[in-house]
Chain A
């Protein structure tokens, strides 16, 4: 079971057995961590566990053991109109709709704006055809956008600081919203020499998201904050893997700052929406918690280049390592990922929500590449000014790294 047939060394971590092993694990929704003394009273534990899995109190009193039915909820997603997080609201909405919940997506700004021509907004018909409502408005006045409507759950997938989120939170509280969820960022963690970032680790107190987390913790009994990193997935508003594909399909070297060993999390957005959905399904388990909203594996920057090449069916990719200062470039402009270890683990979601990661980068990137290839983007004329500047500074022929 531990062996995998994949040829690429980077792909070998993900045999299908990995996923089946994960899903086959016996931990159900009731298996939150128990106090140590229960080992001495296993019979009591068994009873307690079956009780947890059973229906609410009324059914128990009636002597009926019913499998807990997720109550259908009304959910409002306040969604950003651009950037890497936009796609989270789209997947979350779809997943909620598929589960039978009532979903409204309030996108910031105007329906007619140019921003709405890009994914995921260009695909909002997928939400409306599934019964979702899509509206546009100003998060500073959600009440006006929503009229008198209230919701069981509100997700703010827009604000990065209290200025942006406070009006949403205050409206939600006055409207009697039961559960307030917030998309924060794993970027708020203080850099560490002991990775990964885990929930509870020190954060940069001045970060806008930190102010929001503190505020919603004060305002709501049932709140949760989700800290994502990078995402791939169809409908993404921001380039991720495309940056690598653009170079690979044009037989260009891939310039990576530093030594390429920096680790980062790149998750399929379905993992994020799954985590959010579980929080809606199990509000008690999610309440008052911070969740790193990432897959449970990290990848090196060079490794990502190799995986993208493998997904594109290319035998080798030329990775060129460079020192941004020496090359005279701003790494933030030249490269789409942070030039440092940026590595979190989703430990709270696994323990509290029974969430499991399904991201399988080697496989997921194949699907991403198929969409990239079909889009024609690979044939478009593109300039690579910063790349060229880097290659000139480095001066030598790029090294070819076997995939």
Chain B
């Protein structure tokens, strides 16, 4: 890595206008390019060879919080497009004042509602961006005005979801596998299809379950609440259903690695943890992460209950995991957090400090436990 750093600093241009013989050379400590862009190649010369003008749709909630920090550190100009309801930046637990000051002074904000398509189109066209990271897009219609506004867009990097895969008895899900046009995530699929049809240079990232500090989806938090309360953990079925968690910081690194990466053009990548985990195993891993004693697991048949609108368990009741082999071999990415380490990171920086997004609600737990007691 030292060699890379010195090479990078020797190539850093004193003036944004100078370049090398017409070739845009992008070298980054984080990027592991496998193809060399030769001199004289028909490559767009940007003003500052390495730095991109990047728009992040979202960026203030979870993935984007970590991604935008990486992008700013890489020297890119980063603008977050949000309605401004949440603070544009927040100091992360464990982040030094100096680091936070550096980041928050550099990141920019474009205030707007992405559902206001006219506004999106005009404001983006006025600014012009090299790259768009679409972290919070759900439907294809939301993406159209962005593409329309930016005809010279170099890359559209989209946060999709492994939820698009068609349920299968043959696993893991791989990027080439059949998708489910009726899934809850069909908007993501339609977006991927739109990007293809519009001839945009796009990359789609399909995470599985994301976890880590600031998670607003009660994934690890759901277990931590119960562990902290010393409650049994109710798990549907046999608990041998296999799922997969991916740390948000590993996901952010993957998002950064596809930027300007020729191997990522028109490609889909599953991004998640290197290993999978059973429901039972996840409960025990959360306990390890938080330093809790081994929990009591209570299995139940979900068909025996009517939970109404409440979710009794934070995961889909089926096997759900995807191979990340393509990202590892094509992008040179590796997930750095194993499950217990990643859950520990989340616990130490978030729940363990007394912060969480959703308050504990043990209503469904009590329904399950009461029934269990009654049948004993």
Question: B241, A13: Cβ atoms under 8 Å?
Answer: no
Among listed B29-37, B61-69, B74-82, B124-132, interface-contacting one:
B29-37
Question: B8, A40: Cβ atoms under 8 Å?
Answer: yes
Asked if A269 lies at the interface with its beta carbon under 8 angstroms from chain B, I say no
Chain B residue at smallest Cβ distance from A201: B275
Asked if B167 lies at the interface with its beta carbon under 8 angstroms from chain A, I say yes
Question: B31, A12: Cβ atoms under 8 Å?
Answer: no
Cα-based distance from A66 to B32 in the complex (angstroms): 29
Cα-based distance from A42 to B37 in the complex (angstroms): 9
A-B contact count (CB 8 A): 141
What string of 1s and 0s marks CB contacts (under 8 Å) between B8-31 and chain A?
100000000000000000011001
Cα-based distance from A33 to B332 in the complex (angstroms): 8
Asked if A237 lies at the interface with its beta carbon under 8 angstroms from chain B, I say no
Interface residue ranges of B302-333 to A (CB < 8 Å): 319, 323, 325, 329, 332
Question: A39, B176: Cβ atoms under 8 Å?
Answer: no
Question: B171, A194: Cβ atoms under 8 Å?
Answer: no
Chain B residue at smallest Cβ distance from A258: B238
Among listed B105-113, B223-231, B276-284, interface-contacting one:
B276-284
Check A10/B281 contact, CB under 8 A, given A195-B242, A261-B240: no
Q: Which B residues are in CB contact (< 8 Å) with A37? A: 1-4
Q: Which B residues are in CB contact (< 8 Å) with A43? A: 36
Check A307/B169 contact, CB under 8 A, given A258-B238, A261-B319: yes
Question: B240, A36: Cβ atoms under 8 Å?
Answer: no
Partner of A298, one of B27, B33, B170, B284: B170
Asked if A21 lies at the interface with its beta carbon under 8 angstroms from chain B, I say yes
Question: B325, A350: Cβ atoms under 8 Å?
Answer: yes
Chain B residue at smallest Cβ distance from A347: B325
Asked if B93 lies at the interface with its beta carbon under 8 angstroms from chain A, I say no
Cα-based distance from A15 to B165 in the complex (angstroms): 14
What string of 1s and 0s marks CB contacts (under 8 Å) between A289-332 and chain B?
00000001111101110110000000000000000000000000
Cα-based distance from A194 to B280 in the complex (angstroms): 10
Question: B238, A261: Cβ atoms under 8 Å?
Answer: yes
Partner of A14, one of B34, B170, B175, B238: B170
- Number of A interface residues, CB 8 Å? 55
- Number of B interface residues, CB 8 Å? 49
Q: Which A residues are in CB contact (< 8 Å) with B178? A: 2-4, 12-13, 15
Distance of A113 from chain B, by nearest CB (Å): 39
Q: Which B residues are in CB contact (< 8 Å) with A196? A: 275-276
Q: List 12 other contacts, CB 8 Å, given A4-B177, A194-B281, A297-B171.
A: A3-B178, A9-B166, A10-B168, A13-B170, A25-B329, A36-B32, A192-B281, A193-B282, A198-B275, A261-B319, A297-B170, A300-B169
Task: Please list 28 pairs of residues, one from A and one from B, whose beta carbons are closer than 8 Å in the complex, sorted by A's number.
Answer: A9-B168, A9-B169, A15-B176, A18-B174, A18-B177, A36-B32, A39-B4, A39-B33, A40-B3, A40-B7, A40-B8, A42-B34, A193-B278, A193-B284, A193-B285, A194-B281, A194-B339, A195-B278, A196-B276, A261-B240, A261-B241, A261-B319, A296-B323, A298-B170, A298-B172, A299-B169, A300-B319, A302-B169
